[in-house]
Structure 1
Amino acid sequence: MSRVIHVFRRPERFVAGTVGEPGDRSFYLQAVEQARTISVLLEKQQVSVLAERMAALLEEVARRFGPDEAAESAGTDLDPLAVPLEEEFRVGTMGLGWDADSQSIVVELLAVSEEEVDESVVLDDTEEGPDALRVFLSPVQAREFADRAERVVSAGRPPCPLCAEPLDTDGHVCVRLNGYHQRSPVAD
């Protein structure tokens, strides 16, 4: 079976979002263009890394080519994910690049596959390989995506001040305390 590559050249929306309660959330990326909506499932760390790398790529593009002063931000999209939410695939490999011809950031998300993914498959239209979602974003859209993704990732459980692991509502065993609690002296 040949691979399916979903291409969004002018998406109206490309956002990160979650379903579920903090500590039990599923993370999604969703692309919308006209009547088409594609949602892919991924890990929290993948969302965080994508936002971080996208911000770094935007800085590099601005350094090399100058800032895009004509672009104006519409503001960060805070709307929920479009429903019904049907995942197309779970993301395994991610690719990120700059397309100088269209002045766009290109994001490619490849489905998890049993075979090892050769990097030549990323951002390529070969017939063999895992299904993919390819989205072209203007620098403004990419900045808005990165901002929202960082908000989504940080909206979870607060970190423990000692070990930085997430705090649960029903307690937390902190590795920094090594199972011991500091006790106050007993007064006689």
Structure 2
Amino acid sequence: MSRVIHVFRQPERFVAGTVGEPGDRAFYLQAIEEARTISVLLEKQQVSVLAERIDALLTEVARRFGDAEAAPEPAASDTDPLAVPLEEEFRVGTMGLGWDADSKSIVVELLAVSEEEVDESVVLDDTEEGPDALRVFLSPPQARAFAERAEKVVSAGRAPCPLCAEPLDPEGHICVRLNGFHKRSPMGDAAADPGE
């Protein structure tokens, strides 16, 4: 079967979002252009890395080319939920990122998980062999807005433990920095002894 590459040259929307409760969330990226909507599933860490790399790429493009458009004022925040029905096109394995000087756009490419090792020459290329892909061209303001929303989506989950930075669960947390030892808090001691 030949490879399918979904290309969005002027997306009206490219956002990160989640489905589910903190601690059990599924992360998606969704691109919308005209009547076409593509959603791909990925890991929380992938969303975080993509946001960081987009910020770094915009900074580097501005530094190298002195392009005022590459260090833009962010676009208006998109706080709307993901469009429904949410149908996963594929799970993201490899991600690619680049700068298209002709269109002055950030190019994000997300490749489907593949059983075979992905050759880096497949990323941002139209070869007929390789995993399916989603390729999105973002203006610098769109890219900055995507990165800001993605960072908010990632940080909106469970609060991190102040000692080990692992997510805190509502049921409790065994902190590796304390070797599983829990000190009682003064409030906990007072609550345990109602005679005081």
Q: Normalization by structure 2: what TM-score?
A: 0.91
Residue 170 of structure 1 pairs with residue 182 of structure 2: no
Report the aligned-residue RMSD: 1.8
Q: Which residue of 1 aligns with 2:131?
A: 130
Match of 1:81 in 2: 82
Q: CA deviation at 1:76?
A: 1.3
**Matched position secondary structure for 1:105:** strand
Q: Which residue of 1 aligns with 2:40?
A: 40
Shift of 1:74: 3.6
| C-alpha distance in structure 2 between counterparts of 1:121 and 1:78, whole Å | 33
Q: Kindly, what percent of the aligned residue pairs are identical?
A: 85
1:112 corresponds to 2:123: no
Alpha-carbon offset, residue 179 of structure 1:
1.9
Structure-2 change in CA distance of 1:69 and 1:91 (3 Å): closer
1:135-186 Cα shifts (integer Å, max 9, x gaps): 0000000000000000000000000011100000010010011022235899
Q: State how far apart, in whole Å, the 2-side matches of 1:184 and 1:90 are.
A: 44
Structure with a larger share of its residues in helix: 2
Pair 129,70 (structure 1): closer, same or farther in 2 beyond 3 Å: closer
Corresponding residue of 2:193: none
Q: Distance in 1 between matches of 2:69 and 2:122?
A: 31
Count of residue correspondences: 186
In the alignment, does 2:158 pair up with 1:157? Answer: yes
Shift of 1:72: 5.7
Q: SS of 1:18's equivalent?
A: strand
Does the 8 Å contact 2:28/2:39 carry over to 1?
Answer: yes
- In the alignment, the residues of structure 2 paired with residue 173 and residue 31 of structure 1 have an alpha-carbon distance, to the nearest angstrom, of 39
State how far apart, in whole Å, the 1-side matches of 2:41 and 2:70 are. Answer: 34
**Alpha-carbon distance in structure 2 between the residues aligned to 1:149 and 1:81:** 13
3-state secondary structure, aligned to 1:68: helix
Q: Distance in 1 between matches of 2:70 and 2:163?
A: 43
Partner of 1:19: 19
Q: d(CA) in 2 for partners of 1:75 and 1:184?
A: 44
Tell me how far apart the structure 2 counterparts of residues 105 and 99 of structure 1 sit (CA, whole Å). 6
Which deviates further from its counterpart, 103-112 or 68-77?
A: 68-77
**Larger Rg computed on CA atoms:** 2
Give the superposition deviation at 1:30.
0.2
The CA deviation string for residues 121-144 of structure 1, in whole angstroms up to 9 with x for no partner, is 000000000000000000000000
Q: Distance in 2 between matches of 1:70 and 1:163?
A: 35
The whole-number CA distance in structure 2 between the counterparts of 1:183 and 1:109 is 47
